[in-house]
Amino acid sequence: MLIFDAHLDLAMNALEWNRDLTRPVGEIRLREQGLLDKPDRGRGTVSLPEMRRASVGFCVATQIARYVKPGNPLPGWHSREQAWAQTQGQLAWYRAMEERGEMIQIKDAAGLEKHRQLWQAANSSGQPNAAASATALPIGYVLSLEGADSILTPGHLERSYAQGLRALGPAHYGPGIYAQGTDATGGLGPRGRELLAEMDRLGMILDVTHLCDDSFWEALDHTSTTSARLLATPAIRASARTWMARLAANKLPPTWTRSPIWRVFPPCSPRAAIARKRSNKYCTGTFCASCRRPGVERRSASIFGFPREASFPVRAG
């Protein structure tokens, strides 16, 4: 079995949290004992060896760097150039993992199919513990940018695409350059619409997870006139759950339903989310460690060349 995790902030954890993700989780936690600089020190849940052990051989791995204007209380960089440099440093970490044989970047359907066959061959080797046969296999990853503030110009987006970037969320938390994110208000504006048009030209996946309601619906209006591909985590916003309900009831306009929906996560239980938020002010109350659970989900996978209604084992969170 090959499990697909559709969102992991691997490079951020490696560089900003100083976690050596080539080591087991227990060892990473041990090295963080007594550290108080960040919430949840000593509670990491992911590393590359642990992913292999659990047959999580494929993921969406992120770059993330927020730009904050004066007066914005959120943490972030004070210039967009700094944010761009941060994402390039994160890319350098992924490249280092590739050189070491720990990871491999997936850029297209052919690369995904090759990677799937590699893992399938290992898992069907007949060993008592199928995961043991995957100990030396690289983790396949699709590169995603969470928040587009670091994209200085359309030329930088094209450069990122050449580097392997295949998915992009225009905003993260709060106000953004191209869209408004979680807990903010407002639409995309001219720059956001220009970004979406360039993404469509390049054939990139639009991640609507953190868009505020106004920007979210405007982005979906944009997809109704293009072949845009969507990546959504509807637990972030109530309006997204409304959208999914409408989709399930076949009440969306046909132009919307033609856009392939790549990955949709179930939300956490409300009780677990509330408990998590009480212990960690940075938690969104959506996919916390205490209530992640495996599952099998039917989803459209046509963006990677699979049948529209292929079934895949997935891990929510």
Tokens 């979210």, located at residue: 216
- Confidence band for 14, pLDDT divided at 50, 70 and 90: very high
Contacts of 143 (CB under 8 A, 6+ apart): 61, 62, 63, 91, 94, 105, 163, 164, 165, 166, 167
pLDDT at 96 over 80: yes
- Give the least confident one: 66-80, 95-109, 149-163, 302-316: 302-316
- pTM of the complete model: 0.75
pLDDT at 125 over 70: no
Q: Output the pLDDT for position 245.
A: 59
Query: CB of 151 within 8 A of CB of 114?
Result: no
Q: Count other C-beta atoms under 10 Å from residue 5's C-beta.
A: 22
Cα(85)–Cα(77) distance, integer angstroms: 10
pLDDT at 314 over 80: no
- Confidence band for 59, pLDDT divided at 50, 70 and 90: very high
Tens of pLDDT, residues 244-302: 555 555 444 332 332 333 333 333 344 443 444 444 433 333 333 333 333 322 233 33
- Confidence band for 95, pLDDT divided at 50, 70 and 90: very high
Residue extents of the structural domains in the chain: 3-315
- Give the least confident one: 51-65, 89-103, 259-273: 259-273
Task: Please spell the DSSP secondary structure of the chain, one letter per residue.
Answer: --EEEEEE-HHHHHHTS---TTS-HHHHHHHTTT--SSTTTT-----HHHHHHTTEEEEEEEE---B--TT--S--BSSHHHHHHHHHHHHHHHHHHHHHTSEEE--SHHHHHHHHHHHHHHHTS--SSGGGGGTTPPEEEEEEEESSTT--SHHHHHHHHHTTEEEEES--BSB-SSSB-BT-----HHHHHHHHHHHHHHTPEEE-TT--HHHHHHHHHHHTTS--EEE--GGG-HHHHHHHHHHHTT-S-HHHHTSPB---PPPPPHHHHHHHHHH-TT--SSS-GGG--EEEEE---GGGTS-TT-EEEEE--
301 or 8, greater pLDDT: 8
Cα(265)–Cα(72) distance, integer angstroms: 30
In total, the chain counts a number of residues equal to 317
Contacts of 311 (CB under 8 A, 6+ apart): 296, 297, 298
Q: Output the pLDDT for position 221.
A: 78
pLDDT at 239 over 70: no
Amino acid letter at 192? G
112 or 225, greater pLDDT: 112
Q: Output the pLDDT for position 301.
A: 31
Query: CB of 269 within 8 A of CB of 291?
Result: yes
CATH topology of domain 3-315: TIM Barrel (3.20.20)
Cα(169)–Cα(64) distance, integer angstroms: 10
Convert 199-223 to b/e letters by CB count within 10 Å (16 or more is b).
Answer: bbebebbbbbbbbbbbbbbbbbebb
- How much of the chain exceeds pLDDT 70, in percent? 66
Tens of pLDDT, residues 191-222: 999 999 999 999 999 888 888 888 988 888 77
Structure tokens at 145: 């940018």
Cα(142)–Cα(93) distance, integer angstroms: 14
Contacts of 280 (CB under 8 A, 6+ apart): 39, 40, 288
- How much of the chain exceeds pLDDT 90, in percent? 55
235 or 308, greater pLDDT: 235
